[in-house]
Amino acid sequence: GPLKPEITITYIAVSAIFFNSGLSLKTEELTSALMHVKLHLFVQIFTLVFFPTAIWLFLQLLSITPVNEWLLKGLQTVGCMPPPVSSAVILTKAVGGNEAAAIFNSAFGSFLGIVITPLLLLLFLGSSSSVPFTSIFSQLFMTVVVPLIIGQIVRRYIKDWLERKKPPFGAISSCVLLMIIYTTFCDTFANPNIDLDKFSLIIIVFIIFSVQMSFMFLTFLFSTRNNSGFTPADTVAIIFCSTHKSLTLGIPMLKIVFAGYEHLSLISIPLLIYHPAQILLGSLLVPTIKSWMVSRQKALKLTRQPKAPVKV
């Protein structure tokens, strides 16, 4: 169509989100985030090991129900996807959480996903195809890493202007993300051969929201334990990065791994639902999570304050 998503979305939109992040993020915060190894391990293990395994076990129960088997396979592909390169960062920033950690895990998770996601798809779904790792890796490097670095370089020269004017970085990223979702929906539902029953679709939507809520609550419980070592700002980044899945990386990867599959459109639907659902759910929870984070930070400050000596 006239929007040319194969160029505007694949290259320009994702690059714009990361250039935007590079421009808005303080360099010292990004370098300090690199050292937070425990947080990165938690996010990546939860996303690429626990998530797909839990979904696979859950689907063993669902396989005896009349739900469309290709939609169930699509749910499994959602579980195998890496963290997103945009939505988790935008929502973490909206709450005021550890944005640097969110950006690092989004970028790092995407690179891990280039290798791990196709392997997970082969493991859980048994699809056989030759995945061009080199082309996916080079595309990710050009659309994620390069714009982030350019944004950081440009920031050094216009730092004072940025701090004075405070441009609406969050609103810009949200608009770009909306365009990505719109074009992907158009691409899938334009297929005249799509065979979808309403019962299966309603069940899948319900499952997706249930999975997201359950996993957000689970990551919250794990990251707020007394001995976890995570700050409230870290917890915010963990909640979003661990439970969100990449649409911008996921759809191209599905098209590569399932090239020639007649049911590719049905397999893609759960991911197409999951992505807007995670943004909708995340946006609704932003005020609640923000108030929790602020009150938790205040409580921690009070406990750390030295007590005044008692006069006898």
pLDDT (tens place) for every residue of the chain, 312 residues total: 676 666 676 677 777 777 877 777 666 666 766 778 888 899 999 999 999 999 999 998 888 888 888 888 889 999 999 887 678 888 888 888 888 888 888 878 877 877 788 788 878 876 545 556 676 667 767 777 788 788 888 888 888 888 787 787 767 776 776 777 677 667 666 766 666 778 888 899 999 999 999 999 999 999 888 887 888 889 999 999 999 988 767 776 777 677 667 777 788 889 888 988 888 898 889 899 999 988 888 887 787 666 555 555
Q: Which CATH architecture has domain 5-295?
A: Up-down Bundle (1.20)
The pLDDT value given to residue 87: 80
The pLDDT value given to residue 45: 93
The pLDDT value given to residue 127: 53
Tokens coding 290: 């923000």
The pLDDT value given to residue 128: 47
Which whole-number Å values give the CA distances from 128 to 65, 75, 257, 260, in the listed order? 27, 18, 7, 11
The pLDDT value given to residue 135: 67
Single-letter amino acid code for the residue at 253: M
Tokens coding 32: 């300090």
pTM for the whole structure: 0.74
